Structure 1
Amino acid sequence: MTALPPDLLLASQEDLASSPTFDVLDPATGSVIGTVVDATPSDATRAVDAAAAAFPAWSSLPARSRAEVLRRCHDLMVRDSERLTRLITAENGKSVADARAEVAYAAEFFRWFSEEAVRGEGSYGEAPAGGARILVTHVPVGVAALVTPWNFPAAMATRKIAPALAAGCTVVLKPAAETPLTALAVAGLMREAGVPDGVVNVVTTTDAAGVVTSWIEDPRVRKVSFTGSTAVGRALLRQAADRVLNTSMELGGNAPFVVTADADVDAAVAGAMVAKFRGGGQACTAANRFYVHADVADRFVAKLGAAVTALRVGPAVDERSQVGPVISEKELTGITELVESAVAHGARIAAQAPAPATGWFYPPTVLVDVPVGAAILAEEIFGPVAPVVTWSDESTMLASVNDTEFGLAAYVYAGRLQDALRIGDRIEAGMVGVNRGIVSDPAAPFGGVKQSGLGREGARDGLREYQETRYFSIDWS
């Protein structure tokens, strides 16, 4: 069993030494790799007690002081990158290369927001009617409740924690029950970096609804930031409405990947391998459906199929593995049912990589002849399956692309940049990758439109999510 860090909840584990626990499983084998505290709603309230008590001192620190702590957090994550990589592969199952990339990406949020913390913005001007001056400042919103998913256990935590702390907020964090170990390890590094007790409080639990509801109903919590499914996001928004609670929602996706007739097919295939199969396709930004022009469809499918067939699937303990297991047996069953349904309605498996027979592995797959109304085009697959649809008429293709409640990410490959931008501009998505298969960057605003969410993470926008605007009207008679 993996040795766990000591910071299981709040500032110390000793307070909950007799609490119930739950096991963390390795998705490659189903074996137990660790045990963590299974917190209750009462424990969650104690986390808010700690965050509320720490807020006055943390929010009043000079921005430079907060920035230096965040920069130390970055440096310590870089120092411990291999340990964090192994932890992610153990509880999440993604390949070593993908886990290592996630750690670097996660650490960068601490560096980016350490720099943003000191770039305070405001404005000062004369009231148009005269007689007064207008002064506008930004202040921390207060205690923030953060809820993160299992697919990026380090990056989803730091993408929320870093801007919250930079703004002067304190936080309570509920990581996914499938992957709590990484969040606990990051919290331990933050303590080592000098984050005071009570500023960051990690609550591990299998009672997600009870814990999060207790936070939403607590008047001391002034912000909730959630990353997860659209269905859960809708439920949280209904709860938050009763308190008119400040919310940020990063929800589901159904990203289209468009390839035009004059696209560089080799580049498009390389981009598709990143956009679809990074992390085994278990990302909200993962390409979910491929719209390939009929003129290049055969070449694209042949090259993509060859690349997919060559993928090495296996547990991350073998560093040669490029695709690991999906997170749970439930997810494996869902992916299997989507593919079987598509095949039953006329789709055909064009290519498939071999995968282990034991563990929660789904073989990376390319589907062709996918019917337009197939469920696999409408639902978020969250697995290593690439359904391909051919198109000839651009308007018809775009109508299909936009026929979804989701609007998070999209990808366009075209020979002419003007065509790529024109098509991208007509796609209803918050982020568009143009001739590249990745869109995430700490310096860029991450988020979607329609039912893919509210608000943005990353960039200056991410800091503003944890601030309120305050206006002073100054007599100037």
Structure 2
Amino acid sequence: RVSDCGAAEARAAVRAAHEAGAAWGRLPAKERSARLRRWYELMMENKEELARIITAENGKPLKEAHGEIVYSASFLEWFAEEARRIYGDVIPASAKDRRVLVLKQPVGVAAVITPWNFPSAMITRKVGAALAAGCTVVVKPAEDTPLSALALGELANQAGIPAGVYNVVPCSRQQTAAVGEVLCTDPLVSKISFTGSTATGKILLKHAAGTVKRVSMELGGHAPFIVFDSANVDRAVAGALASKYRNSGQTCVCTNRFLVQKGIHDEFVEKFAKAIEKELHVGNGFDAKTTQGPLINEKAVEKVEKHIKDAVSQGASIVTGGKRHSLGKNFFEPTLLSNVTTKMLCTQEETFGPLAPVIRFETEAEAVAIANAANVGLAGYFYSQDPAQIWRVAEQLEVGMVGVNEGIISSVECPFGGVKESGLGREGSKYGIDEYLEIKYVCLGGL
């Protein structure tokens, strides 16, 4: 059984993090690095068990769960290395009797609120940076997937992370609002890092405004996937399959809208349909041949159905899939729609499910305009073999991350984040640790 924490437990966790913060922040960077490195090693030693926890919690196919654990652990490895590279500056002073220094110091207690779709990696991507910077954390995992966060905590203890540095407050859906409010309003919390929907992010931002907290927000996406006439269609289909149907379409960077130029539209749709039918297999996540697990809950299934029904009512055609899978419950067939227009719900909202709507377009300018019409901008993808077009489109897409002739772009070394209503700040990469550091200017006078 998992504890169902409330506001009181959340405040206690914040106090524990605050009390542990001074000692952890004073620890030499080399020592923090060593403990993060050991945490990484323990994750890799226990990757099979950790992967099985993910599959049991959210239904993700075991092969994908293994991939997530390796990806998750890589953030601890990366930030163990970055912990020793937090450099300040010496600035030439304007007066001869002064010396000017710039220090980087931990912001303090960080509240980390994470989603169910990547229940391990979304924690380590934030926590690795925070602990490397010298911060302590309180993690509120999604109510659907608390076990991954708790398992990470057990390994953190084994790695020598001191008590109070990594805290977990699992809670039910009924307690989520109260716990979230505490984490966003408690004056002892200096930083909030959230991954989830744009709507929830806006609520948390309002809470955080009262005490002017530092915030990182990785919010909703509505990723376009553009295929130009010059593209290698077979590569584009392979990229489309990976980008759309990974985790059954339940990722914030997965493609939500396919835009295919008229010259290759029919060929792309035909090949994409064949690839879906041949390569995707719906089933139990623990079955070795499964590539598509269930959606997270009934509400998620209903949204996919709603988007399909709306599109078909406006003239879209179901090329393959289109209904609940025969396995029942939360399983849904991978679906491909053609004859889609920008007036349909599936091109205006993030579906977060295994639905691929294809829009036919004529010109580059038209495709870019459709892609940029969204109020969010997390990831975008396009396939082209025209070098000039590649530069133009990459620069014009209003997103934080662009995949050019590539459908999977997440990597520990690269900055993850979006623009517009897709969020604030960046995670991973050399930039990720800056989200947990304050800059202090020191002027030494009378020298």
TM-score by length of structure 1 reads 0.91
Q: Deviations over 1:108-127 (max 9, x none)?
A: 00000000000121110212
Preserved CA contact (<8 Å) 1:51 1:199: yes
Equivalent residues of 2:338, 2:359 under 8 A apart: yes
Q: Does 1:369 align with 2:312?
A: no
Match of 1:312 among 254, 267, 281: 281
Contact 2:342-2:348 at 8 Å conserved across structures? no
Contact 1:408 1:447 in 2 (8 A): yes
Of 147, 154, 166, 1:181 maps to 147
Counterpart-to-counterpart distance in 2, 1:393 and 1:40: 54
Question: What displacement does 1:412 show?
Answer: 1.1
Q: Secondary structure at the residue paired with 2:139?
A: strand
> Could you tell me which of 156, 166, 170 is aligned with 1:190?
156
Task: Tell me how far 1:49 sits from its aligned partner.
Answer: 1.5
CA separation in 2, counterparts of 1:418 and 1:383?
A: 34
Return the letter of the residue paired with 2:401.
M
Shift of residue 128 of structure 1?
3.9
Provide closer, same or farther for how the CA distance between residues 128 and 343 of structure 1 changes in structure 2, counting only shifts above 3 A.
Answer: farther
User: 1:239, CA displacement in angstroms?
Assistant: 1.1
Map residues 200-219 of structure 1 onto 2, 5 A cutoff: 200-206=166-172, 207-219=175-187
Task: Spell out, residue by residue over 1:337-362, the C-alpha distance to the aligned partner (whole angstroms, 9 max, x if none).
Answer: 11111111111111228833322011
Shift of 1:216: 1.8
Match of 1:431 among 398, 401, 424: 401
Q: Name the structure 2 match of 1:7.
A: none
Among 380, 393, 397, the residue aligned to 1:410: 380
Distance 1:291 1:141, change over 3 A: same
Shift of 1:130: 5.2
Asked if 1:348 is matched to 2:317, the reply is yes
Q: 1:130 to 1:380 in 2, by over 3 A?
A: farther
CA RMSD of aligned residues (A): 1.2
Secondary structure, aligned partner of 1:307? helix
Q: Which amino acid is 2:391 matched to?
A: L
Name the SS for the 2:110 alignment partner.
strand
**Alpha-carbon distance in 2 for matches of 1:188, 1:332:** 34
Deviation string 1:419-471 (CA, Å, 9 cap, x unpaired) is: 22321211100000111111111111100000000000001211000010011
Rounded to whole Å, the distance in 1 between the matches of 2:168 and 2:267 is 49
Aligned residue number for residue 84 of structure 2: 118
Superposition TM-score, scaled by structure 2 size:
0.97
C-alpha distance in 1 between matches for 2:281 and 2:197: 29
Looking at structure 2, the residues matched to 163 and 386 of structure 1 have their Cα atoms a distance apart, in angstroms, of 34
Identity across aligned pairs (percent)? Answer: 46
Secondary structure at the counterpart of residue 85 of structure 2: coil
2:364 pairs, out of 373, 389, 394, with: 394
Aligned twin of 2:329: 359
Deviation at 1:129, TM superposition (A): 5.8
Name the CA distance, whole Å, in 2 between partners of 1:360 and 1:41: 32
Mapped partners of 1:404, 1:146: distance in 2: 27
Match in the other structure for 2:437: 467
Pick from 410, 418, 426 the counterpart of residue 456 of structure 1: 426
Structure 1 residue runs of 5 or longer lacking an equivalent are 1-34
Q: Where in structure 2 are there 5+ consecutive unaligned residues?
A: none
Separation of aligned partners in 2, 1:314 and 1:39: 33
2:280 maps to 1:282? no
> Which amino acid is the alignment partner of residue 314 of structure 1?
G
- Structure 1 contact 421–434 (Cα < 8 Å) conserved: no
1:270 deviation in Å?
0.6
Partner Cα distance (1:107, 1:338) in 2:
36
SS in 1 for 2:430: helix
Which consecutive segments of 4 or more residues in structure 1 shift more than 6 A?
A: none
Q: Is the 8 A contact 2:273 2:319 kept in 1?
A: yes
In 2: Cα distance, 1:411 partner to 1:131 partner: 54
Counterpart amino acid of residue 392 in structure 1: E
Residue type of the partner of 1:220? L
Q: Which moved more, 1:345-354 or 1:454-463?
A: 345-354
Instruction: Measure the CA separation in 2 of the matches of 1:230 and 1:131.
Output: 51
Q: Which residue of 1 aligns with 2:107?
A: 141
**Structure-1 separation of matches of 2:437 and 2:298:** 40
Report the secondary structure of 1:459's partner residue. coil
Q: Is the 8 A contact 1:447 1:456 kept in 2?
A: yes
